[in-house]
A and B are shown apart, each in its own frame.
Chain A
Amino acid sequence: MTLVVEAKQKLGHFSLDAGFVSEGGVTALFGRSGSGKTSLIRVIAGLLKPDHGRLVIDGDVLLDTQDRIFVPKHRRRFGCVFQEGRLFPHLTVRHNLDYGRWFAPKNAPAADFNHIVELLGIGALLDRRPGKLSGGEKQRVAIGRALLSAPRLLLMDEPLAALDDERKAEILPYLERLRDETSTPIVYVSHSVTEVARLADKVVMMKDGRVEAAGTPSEVLGGTVFLSSDRRDAGAVLTGTVETVDIPHRLATIRLSAARIVVPDAHVAEGRTVRVQIPERDVMIATRRPEGLSALNILDGAISSIEPDGEGMVRIRIRCGGDMVLARITALSVERLDLRPDMPVFAVVKTVALER
């Protein structure tokens, strides 16, 4: 699957001028509200016609303003999941799920109803009406409805933004399964670092209607553009495999390239590939292995670089095996510990700080 998007549009004093290429998997459009990510996904869905633009999926041109091509939304076969669910209130959950199937072309590969219902855990809701569902349940049904329309691309516009943290935590594992168990490529709009870090294969970071950076989650979320623009959420994004799950303590151990870290999550399956973001402000540095400390994660590594930001804070990159961990500490601490590049140190991370 190859998706090429380009769009230029003036909307009042905001102008969108962005584009990206996706080769499948989950592409996250990431940025703050007002960065134009929702406008861009609306262009892809056919809900917004840009002044200038091009949209090609696998050689099929769906939008080309130069050649005056504009395929309307109902002929694009893109499944959409919106922030508010948008379930049809006059239909049961089952009929909502069927809605997309009624209009799917007969020769389209039919998505397996039972498999998707099971995947999203909505089997018990089928005969209920959307009005009686919780926010998380509604969103799962909305995802199922989009999937069952046999889409060639799934578009998700902040599907978790309207939910509280607990509901988010409830749905994220379903989205991870979706990514791993279906072959449908996904474009995912979000302003949440956690969601993007966990789900995306590729991140397109947007700001003021333009693409600021694009690449893998580790590249973009650990890169200088993001780190200098968003200090609160900055941190290293690491990929690993779930090694063991400690159900009584509700913890999971994730094996990185060399080190292991413990995260608070008992809902993942062993052997699954996951991504973890380690917020840099939650990482402490010790020059000797600490003892009598509650923190479960003590990673040994060596300082790779020390970058002062000129405001009394310093970002330190620590190489731990093949992974790079970021830490944000005060310049005073750097002086007191006399930290220098290549010095062996221990990065200390509380498990609680890694709540995904």
Chain B
Amino acid sequence: MDWLVLSDEEWTAIRLSLRVSGVAMIVSLPFGIFVAYLLARGKFWGKSILNGVVHLPLILPPVVTGFILLILFGRRGMIGSFLDEYLGIVFSFRWTGAALACGVMGFPLMVRSIRLSIETVDRKLEEAAGTLGAHPAWVFVTVTLPLILPGIIAGMILSFAKAMGEFGATITFVSNIPGETQTLSAAIYTFTQVPGGDAGAMRLTLVAVAISFAALLASEFMAYLVGRRVDIE
């Protein structure tokens, strides 16, 4: 059973993948809720353009998305040079870049899930909350947010799962540097490219299956908890 023991490099890839996916999910969440709310409720010029831009990563080849990120967020990129100069944030060839790529790739899935749940919220409940004296911001926090919690959880899990599996955009944007940007998927890919790497690829594959399964179970469990609490007839 020796072949089941994970090497240090493999552990590094797993930890990195979890960190990248976790950060991608958490950081994109506020943006996801904001954009989903705009798309579900907003009435403004350019709404379909925003919708298209949000969905682009879903339609474009991941490599293209990665290349666009490289152009925009690379050291010399429009946004990248600004962030580097003024805020000291560097994306290119860092794990943060991997998180950015994963967040962008998972964003449409997250927005979609949250948007659908916002659209099912009975606006009459928000109206009622308003007549009881709650400011619109408080209505959102005390009524809308709890009611869309299942959609938010589903969106987070989708985003996380997408990040765990993301390969094309990440490798294009931040390359495949062990210990810095080599995620689980990239590590598996690397193993398949060297002779005798099958065992390592297999080990990481099992880990990937286990993580995905755990995420799925966690989402089911949370949805159950929320469902029991909300309990709409």
Contacts and interface: CB of A to CB of B under 8 A. Distances in A.
Contacts of A149: 132-133
A189 B134 CA distance: 24
B60 interface: no
A20 interface: no
Nearest to B139: A74
A46 interface: yes
A74 B231 contact: no
B131 A131 contact: no
Size category of the A interface is: 20 to 34
Chain B interface, DSSP helix/strand/loop, else mixed: helix
Given A82-B124, A84-B124, A89-B147, A99 B232 contact: no
B131 A79 contact: yes
Chain B CB count within 10 A is highest, among A80, A82, A89, A129, for A89
Contacts of B138: 103
Contact of A89 (B130, B135, B231): B231
Nearest to B149: A90
Given A47-B127, A82-B124, A131 B132 contact: no
Interface in A105-155: 105, 129, 131-132, 145-146, 149, 155
Closest 5 pairs (CB-CB, A-B): A103-B133, A100-B132, A86-B128, A80-B131, A90-B146
24 contacts: A46-B130, A46-B131, A47-B131, A74-B134, A74-B135, A74-B139, A76-B131, A77-B133, A78-B131, A79-B132, A80-B131, A84-B124, A86-B122, A88-B128, A89-B125, A90-B229, A99-B134, A99-B142, A103-B134, A131-B232, A131-B233, A145-B132, A146-B132, A155-B131
Interface of B: 122, 124-125, 127-136, 138-139, 142-143, 146-147, 229-233
Interface of A: 45-47, 72-80, 82, 84, 86, 88-90, 99-100, 102-105, 129, 131-132, 145-146, 149, 155
